[in-house]
Amino acid sequence: MPEPVQKVTFRGGGFAPVTRRWVGFVVFAVLLILAEWGTRAGVISPLTLPRPSDVLWTFQELYASGLLFKHLLPSLARLAIGAAFGAVAGIGVGLLMGLFSYIRAGLVPLVAAIFPIPKIALLPLFVIWFGIDEGSKYALIAFGTFTPTVVATYAAVDNVDRTLIRMGQSFGLSWLSIVRKIVLPGAMPGILAGLRISLAIAIILLVAAEMLGAEYGIGAYILEAGALYDLERLFAGVVILSVLGVMVSAVIGAVERRVLNWRT
Amino acid sequence: MELRLTGVGHRYGDREVLRGIDLEIPAGQIVCIVGPSGCGKSTLLRMMGGLEQPDTGEIAQIGAVPDGCLNPLTYIFQDFALLPWRSVAGNVSLVLEDHDIAKAEADAMIRDVLARTRLTEFADALSRQLSGGMKQRVAIARALVVKPAVMLMDEPLSALDSQTRELLMDDLIGLWTRTPFTAVYVTHNLAEAVRLGHRIVVLSRRPGEIREVVTLDKPLGARGYGDADLEAQQKHLWEVMRAEAAAADAELLGA
């Protein structure tokens, strides 16, 4: 009697993420086409959802009238200045907390206490402290960016390989050299991951700040459209925000590829 | 320069790891320290380089530091400890940057040491592109560039496969034969000890004490893979260590 022969079945597939660039675009396109078809066919009433093509037209008008940049440029300036202040201060304080036990012991409870405060609630306070103009908006965005950056940075410093620091000490490197050449680059992956979150929060706060008192800015534009129930313009504003978010994310991705090219 | 240890002992909490170690590291020789796992041999090495402080006893360096030596007590670590964000040359350069050395001179030193460790063509590679053996050669280059008085090697070949280990042992012997250096070499591998050691110190299980010191007179250059006399020495060492290792193993399981 012959021995039974059976092919060994493959069971090792899946659980391995593969980049599929186009899938994201397909999902996006399908949703847009569904909305366009739905609003045209009357399945979706124009009050529920504006027609994507109308939003596009609104956007075109906004661009043609020159109002797009009148709203966009102040917003970008606020975002850049506020987020830069918040991120630089956050990385600085986070590093100090990661390096010095006393500073950490003193500031961890404080950070835990201010992290959950909705920063928008503090806007009136900022208006008193920094004035009704740009100052209070910068402060709000900076403050909102600061806390998540601090937490990400000191956690990242904790995660720096101790054997590398011991190596630096064993070769007699100065304290400053160890921080600059070992701790900071070692913490960079964690800091950049934290910045992704911080900058998304910065965009949210930008809109919130502009809704509460700005003549120009994407937030002001959205607020105005919302007050008039002009859904096309509202959505045009929202699209700008989404694009902004994607762009910020892409910029960080590019920075990561440059700065972290040593990782696989 | 020589190292002298007198009555060195250490405990972690209420667990005594080292007791009464008296040892001299003579200049120009490689002293191997072997012992069962957990006997405190790595702790002892960390103490010799000032990365840890002994509870009792003292460690002294005797004699002047040789000319041009930038870091008298220099480590080579088991896990290489290379900065992954720096190239091979950058990792070597790291340990020169804090010294007052002109750029051109530093570059020449790096070139020279990379040539000696046969890494010249990999100067710009990142550590993730290197094999384990190459990574450890970079670490050796980094240690050589500061012209150490004593090299402190903590199981430098233990993270490598056995073939790479043989190749690197040949490299180390070659480096030593050209310019003899002083080294303390901690390992649990007796084959490495009999190939590289002028003296082999056997530690007992925890708390680590010196059980035996074996002196090998055969020149390093004349030793080879599987030499009969070395095998005999290795066998002897194993007989000394066997009971200790077995007891240490049982202890770890019981702990």
pLDDT digits (tens, 9 = 90+) for A112-165: 998 888 888 888 888 899 988 888 999 999 999 999 999 999 999 999 999 999
Digit-coded pLDDT (tens) for A234-245:
999 998 998 898
Interface contact A173-B95, CB threshold 8 A: yes
Say what angle helices B132-145 and B162-178 make with each other, to 10 degrees: 20
pLDDT of residue B250: 80
How confident is the model at residue B252, as a pLDDT?
Answer: 67
**Average pLDDT of the residues in B153-162:** 91
Considering A2-6, A47-51, B125-129, the range whose residues carry the highest mean pLDDT is: B125-129
The mean pLDDT of B80-95, rounded to a whole number, is: 94
Residues of chain B with C-beta less than 8 angstroms from the C-beta of A256? none
Q: What is the pLDDT of residue B38?
A: 78
Q: What percent of chain A has pLDDT over 70?
A: 100
Interface pTM, i.e. ipTM:
0.89
What's the pLDDT score for residue B67? 85
Question: Do residues B231 and B225 lie in contact, with contact meaning Cβ atoms separated by under 8 Å?
Answer: no
Task: Give the closest-approach CA distance of A91 to chain B in angstroms.
Answer: 20
CB A177 to CB B98 under 8 A?
A: yes
Other Cβ atoms within 10 Å of A143 Cβ, number: 20
List the single residue in B97, B126, B142 with the smallest CB-CB distance to A177: B97
Residues of B in contact with A172 (CB under 8 A): 70-71, 98
Q: Chain B contact for A172, CB < 8 A?
A: yes
pLDDT at res. A213 = 75
**What mean pLDDT is predicted for residues A37-50?**
86
What is the radius of gyration, based on Cα positions, of chain A? Answer: 25
Q: How far apart are CA A137 and CA A207, in angstroms?
A: 10
CB A71 within 8 A of CB A216: yes
Q: Read off the pLDDT band of B240 (50, 70, 90).
A: confident
Average pLDDT over residues A89-105: 94
For residues B150-167, give the mean pLDDT: 91
- CB pair distance less than 8 Å for B84 and A177: no
User: Is a pLDDT exceeding 90 seen at residue B138?
Assistant: yes
C-alpha distances out from residue A102 to A14, A124, A146, A209, Å: 47, 33, 20, 35
CB contact under 8 A, B49 and A170: yes
Say if CB B240 and CB B202 are below 8 A apart.
yes
**pLDDT-based confidence at residue A42 (cuts at 50, 70, 90):** confident
Would you say residue B195 has pLDDT above 80?
A: yes
B75 to chain A, closest Cα gap in Å? 7
Residue B254 has pLDDT above 70, yes or no: no
Q: Which residues of A touch B84 (CB under 8 A)?
A: 262-263
How confident is the model at residue A17, as a pLDDT?
Answer: 77
| Cα-based distances in Å from A198 to A26, A85, A118, B241 | 28, 12, 14, 57
A182 touches chain B (CB under 8 A): yes
Q: Which chain A residues are Cβ-neighbours of B127 within 8 angstroms?
A: 262
Determine whether the interchain pair B81/A163 forms a contact, defined as Cβ–Cβ distance below 8 Å.
Answer: yes
- The pLDDT, as a whole number, for residue A2 is 82
A49 CA to chain B: closest CA distance, Å? 50
- In degrees, rounded to 5, the angle at the alpha carbon of residue B189 between the alpha carbons of residues B185 and B191 is 95
The reported pLDDT for the residue numbered A165 is 95
The string of pLDDT tens digits covering residues B214-231 is 999 889 888 888 889 999
Secondary structure, 3-state, A147-169: HHHHHHHHHHHHCCCHHHHHHHH
- DSSP for B50-94, written as a single string: TSS--SEEEEEEESPPPTT-S-SEEEE-TT----TTSBHHHHHHH
Question: Chain B contact for A263, CB < 8 A?
Answer: yes
Q: Is residue B121 scored above 90 in pLDDT?
A: yes
pLDDT at A263: 82
How far A95 CA sits from the closest chain B CA (Å)?
19
- Given a cut of 70, is residue B253 above it in pLDDT? no
pLDDT tens-digit readout, A192-236: 999 999 999 999 999 888 887 778 889 899 999 888 988 888 999
Subunit contact A264:B128, Cβ cutoff 8 A: yes
Kindly report, residue by residue over B26-52, the tens digit of the pLDDT. 999 999 999 888 788 889 999 999 999
Do residue A163 and residue B84 have CB atoms under 8 angstroms apart? Answer: no
Q: Coil, strand, or helix at residue A221?
A: helix
Residue matched to tokens 């940075």: A153
| pTM across the whole model | 0.83
pLDDT at B184: 95
